[in-house]
């Protein structure tokens, strides 16, 4: 398994790498990835759950009990539940979001996928997203998973970010470039 040194160097990356290795050994990578997506969505939706992961005034035991209850409620796998217990015991729940993102990156790399973030001024249709995905997949030589976002400040066009590469075809950037050229 080839994981970038950047992911392994971070705290979140080390935990995510360890979880990925355990999930690989157990053949439960997909289940754990699904668990983490459910958990990430639950944290985003619930201020109380977000508070459990980030509140330093809660004891390790309180955080552990809270995360165990969440794991039962979300019907998470045993490996994911144990992982949350380890994070609570080590006071690392505050980095859970970064760990989830790192795990997704590792799992996607293992499958030969790359994630592209597409930001547009207006929501893209399914047909537009499909065409863009096909073109990016052909360009990258591996499967591209799209994450779409909307930013009206772009005025029009797209900004595509794949890893450290950025393709900026937004009207805002073009207008800024034109303004700079006119100043010179």
pLDDT of residue 6: 57
Per-residue confidence (pLDDT) for residue 2, from 0 to 100: 47
Element (H, E) at 35: helix 29-45
Please report, to the nearest 10 degrees, the dihedral formed by the alpha carbons of residues 55, 14, 76, 32 taken in order.
150
Calpha distance 142→130 (Å, rounded): 15
Nearest to 94 by CA among 21, 11, 4, 8: 11
143-165 pLDDT, tens digit per residue, is: 888 888 999 888 888 899 987 78
Maximum separation of any 2 CA atoms in the chain, in Å: 62
- Is the pLDDT at 64 greater than 80? The verdict is yes
């Amino acid at each position: 398994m080839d994981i970038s040194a950047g992911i392994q160097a971070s705290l979140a990356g080390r935990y995510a790498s360890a979880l990925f290795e355990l999930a690989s050994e157990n053949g439960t990578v997909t289940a754990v990835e699904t668990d983490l997506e459910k958990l990430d969505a639950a944290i985003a939706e619930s201020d109380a759950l977000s508070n459990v992961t980030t509140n330093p005034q809660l004891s390790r035991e309180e955080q552990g009990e809270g995360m165990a209850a969440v794991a039962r409620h979300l019907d998470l796998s045993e490996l994911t539940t144990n992982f949350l217990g380890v994070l609570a015991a080590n006071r690392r729940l505050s980095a859970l979001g970064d760990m989830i993102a790192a795990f997704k990156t590792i799992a996607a790399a293992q499958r030969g996928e790359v994630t592209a973030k597409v930001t547009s001024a207006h929501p893209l249709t399914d047909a537009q997203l499909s065409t863009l995905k096909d073109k990016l997949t052909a360009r990258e030589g591996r499967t591209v998973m799209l994450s779409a976002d909307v930013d009206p400040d772009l005025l029009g066009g797209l900004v595509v970010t794949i890893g450290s590469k950025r393709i900026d075809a937004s009207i805002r950037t073009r207008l800024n470039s034109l303004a700079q050229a006119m100043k010179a």
